[in-house]
Amino acid sequence: MDRYTVISADCHAGADLLDYRPYLEKRHHDDFDAWAATYVNPYEDLLADTADRNWNSGRRVAELEEDGIVAEVVFPNTIPPFFPTASLMAPAPSQQEYEQRWAGLRAHNRWLADFCEEAPGRRAGVAQILLNNVEEAVREVRRVHAAGLTGGILLPGAPPGSGIPELYSQTYDPLWAVCAELGVPVNHHGGSASPPLGDEPAARAVFMVETTWFSHRALWHLIFGGAFRRNPELKLVLTEQGSGWIPRVLDMLDYYHGRLVAAATRANTAESKFGAGLADSMGKGPSEVWRDNCYVGASFMRPHEVPLREKIGLDKIMWGSDYPHDEGTHPYTREGLRIAYAGLPRAEVAAMVGGNTARVYGFDLGLLDPIAAKIGPTVEEIAEPLTKIPADATSPAFARGGSVRVW
């Protein structure tokens, strides 16, 4: 083809609040009615005229196709039943809240399965779980897999003070095992692992500085915790956390791995206790684990990240538009692709904008390529350097600064 098959590895959707009710078990209906009657949505974008992009299937398909996108990985966005905020941002539930929160997430997962069926083969829905009870999480993984959600699961964060075990804990081994067994990707999304910081101006600024770092923690927790040694088929996807950090963090993790494993052989040193048992528990080194098991949902990949693509791994990078968020590339996805990928070899662009995502999430290119042949961006178009940033573009893909090159 002379067009790219573009699959967004990072989009968001969810039901309008009251539309979740039919997806709840009937025993929760009265509690849901009472909760919904007094609930005040804290997010302006979910109250605006454009909020229906989250659940209006026809509008969504049309706007994505206008942007040249044929398929999407669908993360959550709206407020599930019984949650104070979006599930990505909500604190870990207390025991009293736990049952209702689980009911709300199951309702979202049921709704999402139906939503994906409205565009067969073009949506890979990411199911939601809680970590308070691993056996219950395992049951939900099996249920959503059988229901046809091909996007895998959204791994909640375990920030300090959450009251649940850290992600390196072997408590979660049954969860990693079922995901590896079923080929279910484990997705960890930016913004999902920060501890509550309050709402002062400084707190909001600190959140912006630290939120991606807290999301990155899942990588070294699972590596050092040995999740990939015990489950060699496990796939971890880190989404909307940037991608330029990966090479230097892998270098750092390799350094500590080598240093601690070596120290463990010298029993009389102060460091020996830090590396004791590490080599046996985690197996391969961090860079090898990244090579064999990990991927990055490189949402609206920025120009300064692109030169690092070989160090990150050309087979690891999955571009995403972040539709329908303000920081997403819509309606300037073609320009966002041009500013990042103009001048690169066609095969490399094809892999990053769709091929890798199809492989990781199981999209059928035989179904999607004919659609892309009609609406996808042309190879010639993406090869043309972007000389002017759209005046009303809001995505960080177009951010000005010394590390961002504009032709």
Task: Record the pTM.
Answer: 0.95
pLDDT for position 139:
98
The predicted-structure confidence for 284-333, as pLDDT tens digits, reads as follows 999 999 999 999 999 999 999 999 999 999 999 999 999 999 999 999 99
Residue 149 pLDDT greater than 60, yes or no: yes
Q: 209: part of which helix (H) or strand (E)?
A: helix 201-224
The pLDDT value given to residue 101: 96
CB neighbour class for 148 (10 Å; exposed up to 12, middle 13-18, buried from 19): middle
Q: How far apart are the first and last CA of the chain?
A: 27
What is the pLDDT, as a whole number, of residue 135? 97
Quick check: 77 and 50 in contact, CB under 8 A?
no
Q: What percent of the chain has pLDDT over 90?
A: 82
pLDDT tens per residue, range 212-223: 999 999 999 999
Give tens-digit pLDDT for 81-104. Answer: 999 998 888 888 888 899 999 999
* CB contact set of 245 (below 8 Å; sequence gap of 6+): 212, 216
Helix (H/G/I), strand (E/B), else coil: 232: coil
pLDDT of residue 1 exceeding 80: no
The per-residue pLDDT for 398 is 92
- What SS3 state is found at 288? helix
Task: Show the domains of the chain with their CATH numbers.
Answer: 7-331 (3.20.20.140)
> How far apart, in whole angstroms, are the C-alpha atoms of residue 220 and residue 215?
10
What is the token pair recorded at 86? 């979006």
